Structure 1
Amino acid sequence: MARQLDEQIAGRFRVGRRLRVLDVGMGRGTQALRLARAGHDVTGLEHDPVLIAAAREALAAEPEGIRERMRIVEGDGRDTGVHFLPGSFDVVLCHGVLMHVEEPDPLLAGLARMLAHGGLLSLLVRNGDALAMRPGLSGDWAGALAAFDTTTYLPRARTDSNGETPARPGPEARADRLGELTATLAGIGAPLYAWYGVRVFTDTAADDAEIPADLEQLLAVEERAGRTDPYRGVAALLHLCGVRD
């Protein structure tokens, strides 16, 4: 997905331009730090104190020049208007956040207002048109049948830092359908410009799976599938890019 984002940035902005980037729900700051290292001014917005602490620790280990280009703000993505003026950013990222928001339209409208004219809105969402894929490929036929008629799902239980898997997955989350998001983006003045599939073939891989010897080929296949119909339509996640008109 980083390559897709970089492609969109390179296609929309002058090479070498220092962009103003807002990363909403930055988590541990991985994407924000990557963009700060690339020379951009990055603001990370996050409400989870544990993740904020991890991001601050990672930022503290960076050279001074990178530390000066990134700031961390504690807050909720639904309150961007409280923290920033409209049109303050050239790029707004919202990756892995919408699935935890019951009513995403107000959040998306707020994010669009943060964009300057011609600015790029980058979303990473759970694909509501392909929720039956994971249970179906795992042989969970009852789960696959149920997934056709819903946009809610239980995230897969993740292995924690001690190597233990919780007895139950996390709280129920929500997926988005491409057609509905396309209409929403058009309605908030940031119409869909490009979209990709993410995790087409690798969604069922175990968290503790060993890195395969043919990793480069695997990544090349995922990259190709994520840009190609019909494969991208059944990806576990969708990466959508809207442009402020």
Structure 2
Amino acid sequence: MPAPAAPTPTPRRRATRIVVGALVAVLLLAALAFAAIRLYAGQQTGGDVAEPTVAGAATAVTADPADLDGAYAVGDGSEAGYRVDEVLAGKDVTVVGRTSEVTGSATIAGGELTEATIDVDVASIETDESQRDARFQDILGTAEFPTATFELSEPVDVSAVADGETVTVDAAGTMTIQGVPQDVTATLQVRLTEDGAAVSTQVPVTFADYGVTAPDLGFVTVEDDGFVEAELALTR
């Protein structure tokens, strides 16, 4: 006796199979995308970038305190940028951006740092991901405000560098980001070198103070606070 023919699927059953298949495909793609983001997060190298320091500067030298006085300029080898934590696909990631497009000047008189202005080309700051950099530039409006500035507002005693010491001091100043000025305190490390001085700094910032909203894209959430950082080679 011939086997009975298989029942022909009804239109409703066919529609159900199509919907289930589509859902499975969507879930599979979502799982693959999440896995790719997790893999990408694990490959981020910002946490491997050391915080700014003068420890790697040229061998410290000594000098007569009076010889410290004079004008200094930001020279080659200087860099600045930012450091911020974010949560990417559930993983804690440290993001570090840097640029060598840094200019500025400083003046020492009577063993005190009496003037200092540092300009950073924010639009040229780069991380290890170009899409993040494009988003960063958009958030900070670098087309309109391409430069961030720090200007010293009170003299700082740095006379101890004449003894070959690495001096750590707090420097009060005004930092301007996205056209918004804020009073800040920058922690400076200063070390005398044969060419002038090495200076490093890390300044804590709260983005909202500068009218910046930290992005939250669902799979990535950026913290509301971070640091502006710089390592500067000052030449006479």
Q: TM-score, normalised by structure 1?
A: 0.24
User: Is the radius of gyration larger for structure 1 or structure 2?
Assistant: 2
Q: TM-score, normalised by structure 2?
A: 0.24
Report which structure shows greater RCO (CA 8 Å, sep ≥6).
Answer: 2
Structure having the larger proportion of residues in helix? 1
